[in-house]
A and B are shown apart, each in its own frame.
Chain A
Amino acid sequence: MISRKQNQQSTVSQNMADKQKRYEALVHTYHADLYRYAYWLVKDKHIAEDIVQEAFLRAWKSLDSLNDEKAAKSWLITILRRENARRFERKQLDVVDMDDVVLMDNDVSQEGKIENRELRRHIAALNEEYREPLILQVMFGFSGEEISEQLGLNKNTVMTRLFRARNQLKEAIENDSNMMGKANG
């Protein structure tokens, strides 16, 4: 009786240790991409970190439901998006005025610094329904099918949105260089 109980206890603590290990592996592998994803969803460093914190806490609580480690990325993104949606349920946030958005550009190497800053501004200015599939495709390497699954849209809609996202970015970049040209001329 006693030995059986001890066995159970050691199994439980072994499970806890395994769970802890899995969790830490997930954190190390995905925290950076998830943070960036959150940042591009909300365009605020602090809110992004809050969302990532909440998302990982929820991931820990339901880690037992993740059976396939290969599905971890989509699983975490789903949790994160839900966490972001909850934020809107909690309080209706003011619409962010693009002029107020502080974009992070202090980290970028000297080369291409201005372009990066401009491009970030343009990406941030994209409508969220264009921006989100673009991030999933570029940052996470998701295919059209995977994005449509993640966002609950059909694939054609996703492809159209991706087309519009890049189309708008290209126009914005061309406008920039036209303006630079005029200023120089």
Chain B
Amino acid sequence: MDDLEFRRQVYADPGSKDPALLEAATQDPAKQQFWDEMKSMNSDIENALDVPVPSELAHRLILRQSIESHNRDRSRNRMHIALAASVAFVIGLSFTLFNRQPTIYELSDVALRHMYHEADYALSVDDNVPLADVNAKLASFGGELKEPFSRVYFASYCLFDKQRSLHLVLGNGADKFTVFITPKEDNEIFTGHFEDENYFGRAWQTSKMNVVVLAEKAKPTEQSMDEVRGKMLFSI
């Protein structure tokens, strides 16, 4: 093997295991020396190529892929949700149509039942709800408490015979009473005064709302109950 060919091959691949190359190197110390130089340069190249890798790169690569597959899952889930939603819509629609045969009910009955159902909880809490929060809740019923009562113990949305309603527990001095605000329904029978063995109630209607005030019979609070009508104003 001539010198030029030897050099060409060693330059191209210093790690070569070619027998002809090995043979040539053993026979010629100059060739061997050249090869050793090239091997040494090659390991310098190897070191030089070894640039630092950003420390969090592996983490970022896995994170990015998780986000990507999560997003893909989410769009797939959105399809499922859309499908579920349309099924639910059809079911809901048939229920509504089915329920169209009006069941007549007494507003006072519903109010009393709700009172018994919730009394344990609603009458025992004291959230001391700020006026602004009460009014924020009242707003979706078109109502506003113009003047505050001494305390608002409880203010929460609730379901009042399937209707989204507002449940308040108000305090006026020593008096404590419950107020329900619920949208008017065609199939309800409205009574302005009602009572059972434990509670008595007052109710009035605005153009779209029923306002029902209930208090315990044992503690007469009529005056305070009447005050609700003066302090709570409705625009609908």
Residues of A within 8 A of B (CB): 23-24, 27-28, 31-32, 35-36, 39-40, 45, 49, 52-53, 56-57, 60, 104, 106-108, 112, 115-116, 119-120, 123, 134-135, 137-139, 144, 159-160, 162-163, 166-167, 169-170, 173
B residues 28-87 touching A (CB-CB < 8 Å): 38, 41-42, 44-54, 57-58, 60-62, 64-65, 68-69
B12 in contact (CB, < 8 A): yes
The reply to whether B64 and A162 contact each other, CB–CB distance below 8 Å, is no
Task: Given A57-B65, A107-B51, A166-B41, output 14 extra A-B contacts at Cβ < 8 Å.
Answer: A24-B62, A27-B58, A36-B49, A36-B50, A36-B51, A39-B51, A45-B54, A53-B61, A53-B64, A56-B61, A104-B52, A119-B44, A160-B12, A166-B38
In whole angstroms, how far apart are the Cα atoms of A162 and B49 in the complex? 15
Contact of A52 among B45, B49, B61 (CB under 8 A): B61
- Contact-residue bracket for chain B: 20 to 34
In the complex, the answer to whether A159 meets B49 with C-beta atoms within 8 Å is no
Question: B12, B38, B42, B46: which has the most chain A beta carbons within 10 Å?
Answer: B12
Alpha-carbon separation in the docked complex, A170 to B61 (Å): 37
Q: Does B11 contact A (CB under 8 A)?
A: yes
**In the assembly, what is the distance between CA of A27 and CA of B4, in Å?**
43
Do A27 and B51 touch (CB < 8 A)?
no
User: Which chain A residue has the least Cβ–Cβ distance from B8?
Assistant: A163
Report the nearest B residue to A137, measured CB to CB: B13
Question: Is B62 a contact partner of A23 (Cβ separation < 8 A)?
Answer: yes
Task: Name which residue of chain B comes closest to A117, CB basis.
Answer: B48
Nearest B residue to A160, CB-CB:
B12
Q: Which of B42, B48, B65 has the most CB of A within 10 A?
A: B48
The answer to whether B13 and A162 have CB atoms under 8 Å apart is yes
Q: How far is the CB of A14 from chain B (nearest CB, A)?
A: 15
Cα of A163 to Cα of B48 in the assembled complex, Å: 18
Q: Is the beta-carbon distance between A173 and B41 smaller than 8 angstroms?
A: yes
A16 nearest in chain B by CB position? B69
Q: Is the interface of B mostly helix, strand, loop or mixed?
A: helix
Which residues does chain A contribute within 8 Å of B14, judged by CB atoms?
166
Instruction: Report yes or no: B57 in contact with A166, Cβ–Cβ below 8 A.
Output: no
In the complex, residue of chain B having the shortest beta-carbon distance to the beta carbon of A122: B48
Asked if A123 and B51 sit within 8 Å, CB to CB, the answer is no
Chain A hits for B61, CB < 8 A: 27, 31, 52-53, 56
Q: Within the assembled complex, what's the spacing in Å between the Cα atoms of A169 and B46?
A: 13
- A49: which of B48, B54, B69 is its contact (CB, 8 Å)? B54
> What are 19 sample pairs from A and B whose C-beta atoms fall under 8 A apart?
A23-B65, A27-B58, A31-B57, A32-B57, A36-B53, A52-B61, A53-B61, A56-B64, A57-B64, A104-B52, A115-B44, A116-B44, A138-B49, A159-B13, A162-B12, A162-B13, A166-B11, A166-B38, A166-B41
In the complex, the answer to whether A123 meets B48 with C-beta atoms within 8 Å is yes
Residues in chain B near residue A120, CB distance under 8 A: 48, 51
- Residues of chain B within 8 A of A108, CB atoms compared: 47
Whole-angstrom distance between the alpha carbons of A139 and B53 in the complex? 14
Assuming the contacts A39-B51, A60-B68, asked whether A138 and B46 have C-beta atoms less than 8 A apart, the reply is yes
Closest 7 CB pairs of A and B: A119-B48, A107-B52, A163-B11, A162-B12, A163-B12, A159-B12, A32-B53
Chain B residues whose CB sits within 8 angstroms of the CB of A116 once the complex forms: 44, 47-48
**A130 nearest CB across to chain B (Å):** 11
Which A residues lie within 8 Å of B57 (CB)? 31-32, 35, 49, 52
